[in-house]
Amino acid sequence: MAKIVGVCVSNRKGTSKKNINKAFLEAGKGIKGDAHSGFGHRQISLLARESIDKMRPALPELTEGSFAENLTTEGINLLELPIGTELKVGESVLLRITQIGKKCHARCEIFNKTGNCIMPKEGIFAEVIEEGEVEVGDKITITK
C-alpha cells in the first residue's frame, strides 16, 4: 500500500524540513506555513523513503524532510508517474504531478557531505488541485 510517511515543513528556503506529521494543503499554494508555499507549478515536493534509503549508508542520520521534501512517501514508485498524473492523498487532497526532478542551482548540505544528492533526480513536484489535511499514514492512490 502506498502511503505518506512524512509531512515536512520549514520556515526558510534552502534548509531541510521537519516532519510535523500533519498539515493543511491549500489549493493552488501548497502546505500552509511552509517556506516553499506559493503559486506556481512546484507547490509540493515528494520524495520516496526508498530513495532516501539509498543514501543511508553514507548518512545514517537521514530522516523525513532531510532533502527538503514536503511529503515523504512509501510504496509508490514516484519516478514512474508521468507529468499530469493525479494522486489522491488521504480523504480529500488531490495533487497533480507537474515536474520530475529539478536543476540544483546551489549544492545542498547533503551534496557537500557525500558528493551526491537524490532530490534533483528522484524528487517530484505537484500542484494542489483539491485542498485538505494530510497526515502520516494517509493512503495514496493514483486517480488519473
Q: Does 25 score more than 80 pLDDT?
A: yes
pLDDT-above-70 percentage for the chain: 88
pLDDT reported for residue 128: 98
pLDDT reported for residue 135: 98
Place 66 in a pLDDT band, splitting at 50, 70 and 90: confident
Which residue segments constitute the domains of the chain, with CATH numbers given? 3-142 (2.40.33.20)
pLDDT reported for residue 109: 62
As a whole number, mean pLDDT of residues 66-77 equals 93
pLDDT reported for residue 68: 83
Q: Does 119 score more than 60 pLDDT?
A: yes
Place 14 in a pLDDT band, splitting at 50, 70 and 90: confident
Mean pLDDT computed over every residue of the chain: 89
The 3-class SS string of the chain reads CCEEEEEEECCCCCCCCEECCEEEEECCCEECCCCCCCCCCCCEEEEEHHHHHHHCCCCCCCCCCCCCCCEEEECCCHHHCCCCCEEEECCCEEEEEEEECCCCCCCCHHHHHHCCCCHHHHCEEEEEEECEEEECCCEEEECC
pLDDT reported for residue 56: 86
CB neighbourhood size of 4 (10 A): 23
Q: Does 117 score more than 80 pLDDT?
A: no
Tell me how far apart the alpha carbons of residues 127 and 129 are, in angstroms, rounded to a whole number.
6
pLDDT reported for residue 73: 98
Tell me how far apart the alpha carbons of residues 89 and 73 are, in angstroms, rounded to a whole number.
11
Place 103 in a pLDDT band, splitting at 50, 70 and 90: low
